[in-house]
C-alpha cells in the first residue's frame, strides 16, 4: 500500500496540533491540512489561549486531567526554550477570585499548574467584592503567533496546507485514505452534529502593557488575560447564539466589568473587539468513524467539540487523535492485505 | 519660610512632596525650591528598573525595614487610583533564585503571596535549587518622577537647573531649611567616606512575553552581581552588575557581555529580544541611609539641614518611608523655630 494520505480538516489550534502529532508520529504518511480559514481568522485567534481547563461533563475527570497534563508539560518545555517568544508561549501568574466560596475548592487541575494555593487576606484586599481566591502560575498560548509557529513547523516537515472549504467529508474520498475532522463549530454543518452548539464569546483585545498578571472571576464571565502585545478582556458565554458581529452594548459591559476588577484598565488603548463561537459539547468528540456509501468506505477520526477548553487540552487530544489515525492506517493495511489474498 | 531641596531623583522629589503636603497649610509662608544638576530622565532613579524589593538582609536595621513597609503600603494604596498608570505603578510577580537554601527575608510579609518555589518551578531555572515567589510592585522612575514633578509644580514649587556647590550657597541666600537629597554625589557637599558608588549597568530590551521579574542571587558575588530580568511597561531591563567604588558612568562592553550572556542563559528566549538601550548608573551605596538633621554653623546664621541620601539599590523601595521621616524632622525644626518666635507672655 502506498504511503497513507491523511487529510486534516480545520486549521485552528486543534487542526494544526493534530496534524503535527500525526505527521510526527507517522512520518511515512502524507498529511495535508485543509481549511476555509487560517490564522488570524480562526476561533482560536479570538481566544486568549490560557491554560485553565474547562470541565466537560461527559468526559471522565482522569481523562481530562491527562489531556491537560500532557498539554501543560509539552508547552512548559517550549516556554523554557529559545523559541518561546516565536511560539507565543509564556508563563503568566495571577488570581482566580470568587464572590462566594466555590463548592470545589481544589479544581482537578490544581496540581498541574504551578504554585497553586489559596490567596492570602492581603491579596484579597485588592478585590473588595470577592471573598475567596486562588493564586497560581500557568501558561498562555498567544495567537496568532502560536498558530503561525505550528504552521511553520508543519511546513518544515512537508505538511501541505490548502485553503479549501470542505462542504462534505465525502468530497475527500478519492484523494485521501483517512480524514481527520477538526472543524470545531463547523462540524455542526459538516457532519450534522446536533449535540454541538456554539457558546458565543465576545472579547476585547486592548493595549495595556502594565498589566502583567491575569485576573479571572470564578464565574468565568469576567477575565483579564495579558498576552504578549495585548490584554484579552472578557467576556460572554451566550449559549446557542451564532452571531459573529460584535455587540457594542456588550463591549461596554465587558470593559466596565474588567475595570471593576482592575481599575487601571481605564487607561487601556486601542480597543479591538472580537467574537468567537466556542464549539461546545457535553464531551469532546474524539473517536473513529467509518462512513460508508455502498461498498465504499471513508475512515474518519473526529476531534472537535472542545468548547472553552481547546487550548488547555489540545496536545492531549491531538495525541489521542493521532493514535486513532494509527488504528485507521492499521485497518487499511489489513484490508489491503486481505484484498490481496 | 524658604525650603530648598537639593536633588531631583526619587528621594528629592518625594521628600519635597511629602513635606509640602503635610506643612503647606500649617505654614502659609512656605516657599519650596528644588535645585538639581540632573532632572528626569537623567537621574539615577530613571535608570533603575523600578522594582520594589529590599536587599536580602536588613542587617538588623529594623528602621529601614519599617520604611520599606511604609513605602509598599503607601504605593499599594495608590494602585486602584486613577493616578496609578500615570505614576508608572503596577503589580508584578516574580522569582528570586538561589543556589542554596537561605533564610526568609525581612520583607516576606510586606509583599503579597510570598512563598517558596516548588520543585517543578525550579525546573525552569537550571542551576538554581531554591527560591521564592511573590507579588511586588513596580514604580518606574521615568513615569514616577514626571508625576512627582507635576504634583510639585501644581503646588507652586519652583525648579532650578543648577549644580549646588555648597550648603552655604543655598542657606546664605535666605533659605531656612535645606534638604540634602543628592544621592551618590552627596560627598561633594560634605565629605562622607561611608558613601560609595555601587556602579550598575543595564541593557534595555523589547521582550513583552516576559511577565515576571527574575532575580538571581550569588551569595559570594554579592547583591546585584548576578543576572536579573525585570519587565517594565514598555521594555524589559536586564542587569546584574554591582561594582563598589567604580565612578565610571560609561557603558562597559565587558559588562554588556556579562549581562547579555548570563540573562540569555537564564531565559533562552531573550536571545531573540531586540536591544533598545543601555545605561550605567551609580547606586548611592552606604551601610545605611543617612537620614538625620544637622545644624551647620558658619557665617551669620545657623542653617538647618536634613540629610536624606545613601539609599543604595533600594531607593525606590524605601523612598516614601524616608520622605515621611524627613517630614517629621522638618516638623521638629518648625517646632523649634516657632518656640523661638513665640511672643513673650504679657503680665
Q: What is the mean pLDDT of residues A109-135?
A: 97
The per-residue pLDDT of chain A, averaged, comes to 96
- Asked if residue A119 has pLDDT above 90, the reply is yes
Contacts of A126 in chain B (CB under 8 A): 79-80, 91
**Position A104 confidence tier, pLDDT thresholds 50, 70, 90:** confident
Which of B80, B117, B209 is opposite residue A84, by nearest beta carbon? B209
pLDDT mean over A117-143: 96
3-class SS at B179? strand
Q: Does pLDDT of B340 surpass 70?
A: no
Q: Give the tens place of pLDDT for each residue, A153-205.
A: 999 999 999 999 999 999 999 899 999 999 999 999 999 999 999 999 999 99
Is the predicted pLDDT of residue B342 greater than 60, yes or no? no
Taking only residues 209 to 268 of chain A, the set having a beta carbon closer than 8 angstroms to any beta carbon of chain B reads 209-213, 226, 228-229, 263-264, 266-267
Q: Which domains, from first to last, does chain B contain?
A: 1-50+140-193+287-346 (3.40.50.720)
Closest CA to A192 of A170, A168, A165, A176: A168
**Which CATH number does the domain housing residue A163 bear?**
3.40.50.720
B303 interface with A at CB cutoff 8 Å: no
ipTM for this model:
0.94
Most confident among A137-151, B55-69, B165-179 (mean pLDDT): A137-151
Q: Annotation-wise, does B53 bind a ligand?
A: yes
Q: What is the pLDDT of residue A336?
A: 75
User: CB-CB: which of A82, A91, A266 is closest to B212?
Assistant: A91
Q: Average pLDDT in the B289-307 region? A: 89
In B175-302, beta strands by DSSP E: 177-180, 196-206, 212-216, 228-231, 236-239, 243-244, 274-285, 290-296
Across the range A289-293, mean pLDDT stands at 94
Query: How many domains would you assign to chain A?
Result: 1
The answer to whether the CB atoms of A93 and B212 lie below 8 A apart is: yes
% of chain B residues with pLDDT over 70: 97
The answer to whether B179 and B5 have CB atoms below 8 angstroms apart is yes
CA distance A210 to chain B (A): 5
**Mean pLDDT within A104-113:** 94
Asked whether residue B339 carries a pLDDT value surpassing 70, the answer given is no
Q: What are the tens digits of pLDDT across the range A223-274?
A: 999 999 999 999 999 999 999 999 999 999 999 999 999 999 999 999 999 9
B131, pLDDT greater than 70: yes
Q: Shortest CB distance from B209 goes to which of A80, A85, A211?
A: A85
Contact A98, A131 (CB under 8 A): yes
State the SS3 of chain A. CCCCEEEEECCCHHHHHHHHHHHHHCCCCEEEEEECCCCCCCHHHHCCCECCCCCCCCCCHHHHHHHHHHHHHHHHHHHCCCCHHHHCEEEEEEEEEECCCCCCCCCCCCCCCEEEEECCHHHHCCCCCCCEEEEEEEEEECCCHHHHHHHHHHHHCCCEEEECCCCCHHHHCCCCCEEEECCHHHHHHHCCCCCCEEEEEEEEEEECCCCCCEEEECCCCCEEEECCCCEEEECCCEECCCCCCCCHHHHHHHHHHHHHHCHHHHHCEEEEEEEEEEEECCCCEEEEEEEEECCEEEEEEEEECCHHHHHHHHHHHHHHHHHHHHHHHHHHHHHHHHHHC
Q: Is the pLDDT of residue B299 over 90?
A: no
Over residues A300-337, the pLDDT tens digits come to 999 999 999 999 999 999 999 999 999 999 998 888 77
A287 or B59, which is more confident? A287
Closest residue, chain A, to B139 (C-alpha): A210
The answer for B 225-244 residues in CB contact with A (under 8 A) is 231, 233-234
Pick the closest to residue A48 from A193, A195, A223 (CA basis): A223
Per-residue model confidence (pLDDT) at position A105: 82
Which residues constitute the domain of residue A169? 5-339
Q: What is the mean pLDDT of chain B?
A: 95
pLDDT of residue B338: 79
Amino acid at each position: 500500500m502506498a504511503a497513507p494520505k491523511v487529510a486534516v480538516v480545520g486549521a485552528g489550534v486543534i487542526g494544526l496540533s493534530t496534524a503535527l502529532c500525526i505527521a510526527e508520529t507517522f512520518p511515512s504518511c502524507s498529511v495535508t491540512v485543509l481549511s476555509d480559514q487560517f490564522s488570524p481568522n480562526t476561533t482560536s485567534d479570538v481566544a486568549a489561549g490560557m491554560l485553565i481547563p474547562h470541565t466537560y461533563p461527559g468526559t471522565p475527570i482522569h481523562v481530562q486531567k491527562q489531556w491537560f497534563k500532557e498539554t501543560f508539560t509539552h508547552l512548559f518545555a517550549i516556554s523554557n526554550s529559545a523559541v518561546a517568544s516565536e511560539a507565543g508561549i509564556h508563563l503568566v501568574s495571577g488570581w482566580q477570585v470568587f464572590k462566594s466560596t466555590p463548592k470545589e475548592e481544589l479544581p482537578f487541575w490544581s496540581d498541574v499548574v504551578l504554585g497553586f494555593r489559596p490567596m492570602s487576606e492581603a491579596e484579597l484586599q485588592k478585590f473588595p467584592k470577592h471573598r475567596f481566591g486562588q493564586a497560581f502560575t500557568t501558561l498562555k498560548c498567544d495567537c496568532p503567533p502560536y498558530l503561525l509557529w505550528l504552521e511553520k513547523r508543519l511546513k518544515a516537515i512537508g505538511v501541505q496546507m490548502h485553503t479549501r472549504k470542505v462542504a462534505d467529508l465525502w468530497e475527500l474520498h478519492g484523494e485521501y485514505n483517512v480524514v481527520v475532522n477538526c472543524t470545531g463549530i463547523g462540524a455542526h454543518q459538516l457532519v450534522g452534529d446536533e449535540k454541538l452548539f456554539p457558546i458565543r464569546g465576545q472579547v476585547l483585545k486592548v493595549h495595556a502593557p502594565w498589566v502583567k498578571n491575569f485576573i479571572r472571576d470564578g464565574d468565568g464571565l469576567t477575565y483579564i488575560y495579558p498576552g504578549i502585545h495585548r490584554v484579552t478582556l472578557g467576556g460572554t458565554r451566550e449559549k446557542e447564539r451564532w452571531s459573529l458581529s460584535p455587540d457594542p452594548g456588550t463591549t461596554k459591559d465587558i470593559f466596565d466589568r474588567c475595570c471593576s476588577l482592575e481599575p487601571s484598565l481605564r487607561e487601556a488603548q486601542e480597543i479591538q473587539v472580537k467574537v468567537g463561537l466556542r464549539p461546545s459539547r457535553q464531551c469532546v468528540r474524539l473517536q473513529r468513524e467509518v462512513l460508508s456509501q455502498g461498498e465504499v468506505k471513508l475512515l474518519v477520526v473526529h476531534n472537535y467539540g472542545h468548547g472553552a477548553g481547546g487550548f488547555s487540552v489540545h496536545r492531549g487530544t491531538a495525541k489521542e487523535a493521532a493514535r486513532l489515525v494509527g488504528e485507521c492506517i492499521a485497518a487499511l493495511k489489513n484490508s489491503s492485505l486481505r484484498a490481496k489474498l | 519660610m524658604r525650603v530648598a531641596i537639593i536633588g531631583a531623583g526619587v528621594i528629592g522629589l518625594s521628600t519635597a512632596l511629602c513635606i509640602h503636603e503635610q506643612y503647606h497649610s500649617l505654614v502659609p509662608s512656605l516657599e519650596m525650591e528644588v535645585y538639581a544638576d540632573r532632572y528626569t530622565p537623567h537621574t539615577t532613579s530613571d535608570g533603575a528598573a523600578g522594582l520594589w524589593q529590599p536587599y536580602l538582609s536588613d542587617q538588623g536595621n529594623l528602621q529601614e525595614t519599617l520604611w520599606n513597609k511604609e513605602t509598599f503600603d503607601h504605593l499599594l494604596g495608590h494602585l486602584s487610583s486613577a493616578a496609578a498608570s500615570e505614576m508608572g505603578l503596577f503589580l508584578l510577580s516574580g522569582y528570586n533564585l538561589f543556589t542554596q537554601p537561605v533564610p526568609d527575608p525581612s520583607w516576606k510579609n510586606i509583599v503579597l503571596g510570598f512563598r517558596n518555589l516548588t520543585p517543578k518551578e525550579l525546573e525552569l531555572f537550571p542551576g538554581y535549587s531554591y527560591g521564592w515567589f511573590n507579588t511586588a510592585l513596580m514604580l518606574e522612575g521615568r513615569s514616577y518622577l514626571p508625576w512627582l514633578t507635576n504634583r510639585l509644580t501644581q503646588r507652586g514649587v519652583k525648579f532650578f537647573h543648577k549644580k549646588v556647590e555648597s550648603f552655604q550657597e543655598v542657606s546664605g541666600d535666605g533659605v531656612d531649611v535645606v534638604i540634602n537629597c543628592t544621592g551618590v554625589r552627596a560627598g561633594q557637599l560634605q565629605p562622607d567616606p561611608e558613601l560609595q558608588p555601587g556602579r550598575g549597568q543595564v541593557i534595555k530590551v523589547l521582550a513583552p512575553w516576559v511577565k515576571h521579574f527574575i532575580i538571581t542571587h550569588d551569595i559570594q558575588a554579592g547583591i546585584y552581581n548576578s543576572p536579573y530580568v525585570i519587565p517594565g511597561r514598555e521594555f524589559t531591563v536586564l542587569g546584574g552588575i554591582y561594582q563598589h567604588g567604580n565612578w565610571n558612568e560609561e557603558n562597559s562592553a565587558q559588562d554588556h557581555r556579562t549581562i547579555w550572556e548570563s540573562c540569555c542563559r537564564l531565559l533562552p528566549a531573550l536571545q531573540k529580544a531586540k536591544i533598545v538601550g543601555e545605561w550605567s548608573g551609580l547606586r548611592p551605596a552606604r551601610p545605611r541611609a543617612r537620614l538625620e538633621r544637622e545644624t551647620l554653623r558658619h557665617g551669620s546664621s545657623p542653617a538647618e539641614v536634613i540629610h536624606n541620601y545613601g539609599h543604595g539599590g533600594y531607593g525606590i523601595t524605601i523612598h516614601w518611608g524616608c520622605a515621611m521621616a524627613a517630614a517629621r524632622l522638618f516638623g521638629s525644626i518648625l517646632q523649634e523655630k516657632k518656640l523661638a518666635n513665640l511672643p513673650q507672655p504679657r503680665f
